[in-house]
Homo-oligomer: A and B are copies of this chain.
Amino acid sequence: MQTIVRLCAGHDVPIISYGNGSSLEGHLLAVHGGVSIDLSEMNQIVSINAEDLTATVQPGISRKQLDEALRNSGLFFPINPGADASIGGMSATRASGTNAVRYGSMRENVLALTVVLADGRVIKTGTRARKSSAGYDLTRLFVGSEGTLGVITEITVRLYPQPEAISAAVCAFPSMGDAVRAVIETIQMGVPIARVEFVDTLAVRAINRHSNLTLREAPMLFFEFHGTESGVQEQARTVQEIVAQNKGEDFEWATRPEDRSRLWNARHSAYFAMLQLKPGCRAVTTDVCVPISRLAECVEETEKDLRGSYLPSPIVGHVGDGNFHVAMLLDPGKPEELEEAERINRRIVARAGDGRHLHGEHGIGLHKMDFLIDEHGEDAIAVMRSIKQALDPKNMMNPGKIFAFES
């Protein structure tokens, strides 16, 4: 990799690292030309250290390949963005997903990286040890930098013991607000819930059709509990009480592994299921993350907006993190539909207001660049730009992404 990067650097050719191509915001587009480096065959496990609960892998390994390698180890890697993304890509975009409410995102779960810098120097940003207070946190700087600071060639991630018991459940609510209030109370009680996902009526319909399920077509929460046998039972009892107080109905269990898999596969296929609601459509997705206290209001107002629009726009949300996605389904051949989607998007963004992130987990890429300034302010972007200038002055690493930058 060092040789490739040096060659490119010598000829002023941009480099775009390519993992599994599952990013949503145009991260991989060669807007300034250059070489797309396909890392999918650089997919080996370097080591698994069961005692230390770490794995060191090459960047092209996919999440499911890593799962497979861990199958009989009693350990698992929790970050699950749905798509079978590469671990390198997930690091580069600071991915999260359905387990983040308990296990955090890539931010918390990457311990160390090996990175080839724009000029061909190779650095290691950390070690397998759990903690460090040794200088600037270069690991966290490269996690989420979307390929704009270097090529990630090795990643050490945290693993977790497989829980003794896992159970999942679904529950319908009269409204999104009721569902969110149930989640806030659950988190405030300190229930260590592993997953809690919101799916709106339209998204449930999409999932039912796509995955051949018969879920009630109403606002729903999907839950998962991890722990000891008795711990999981206790968590579930507490959550059932909270749900009942918030008008939840039809609490339904999925304790058998095959039922759980079916449920979560359906949830993780939601994006593709939603696309099928409108044949030939494409989705413009929002990725707002608000403090959870503002989530119910924010989503209820959004629902009102969506009812006033002719675009079918299902909502799913990592509700424990305050992060939700609206998928506005539009005909790519109709500019007025794109305009309508952008209109709704602007309203959602404006409503989120202070204290929110406009980018919970999908990153910035090409599509969200305008909003980044809005979120951070010019001075913070200037700081990011000066870091880019320091590490990649010729703008050879995934140029044209995250923020405008002139070499």
Contact = CB atoms under 8 A, between A and B. Distances in A.
A73 to B, nearest CB: 11
Nearest to A137: B140
A133 interface: yes
Nearest to A189: B161
A95 interface: yes
B355 A190 contact: no
A55 to B, nearest CB: 12
A399 to B, nearest CB: 15
Interface string A319-356: 00111000000000000000000000000000000111
Contacts of A358: 134
Given A292-B52, A379-B122, A141 B140 contact: yes
A380 interface: yes
Given A138-B380, A190-B163, A390-B387, A51 B293 contact: yes
B231 A137 contact: no
A386 B379 contact: no
Interface string A115-128: 00100011111111
Given A51-B292, A141-B137, A390-B390, A105 B124 contact: no
A176 interface: no
A143 B133 CA distance: 9
A93 B134 CA distance: 9
A134 B357 contact: yes
Q: Which of A108, A129, A289 gathers the greatest number of chain B CB atoms within 10 Å? A: A129
B95 A322 contact: no
Interface string A375-391: 11101111110110111
B384 A354 contact: no
A160 interface: yes
A63 interface: no
Contacts of A390: 386-387, 389-390
Interface string A393-406: 00000000011000
Contacts of A321: 130-131
A196 to B, nearest CB: 13
Contact of A132 (B127, B160, B360): B360
A140 B96 CA distance: 17
B108 A104 contact: yes
A363 B133 contact: yes
Contact of A128 (B124, B131, B355): B355
A144 interface: yes
Contact of A291 (B49, B230, B293): B49
Given A292-B51, A390-B389, A135 B144 contact: yes
Contact of A164 (B190, B362, B372): B190
A231 B123 CA distance: 43
A169 interface: no
Contacts of A290: 129
7 contacts: A74-B188, A132-B289, A133-B357, A134-B357, A135-B372, A135-B384, A161-B187
**Smallest CB-CB A-B distances: 10 pairs:** A140-B140, A51-B293, A161-B190, A134-B359, A52-B291, A386-B390, A132-B357, A390-B390, A123-B380, A129-B289
B384 A133 contact: no
A96 B123 CA distance: 25
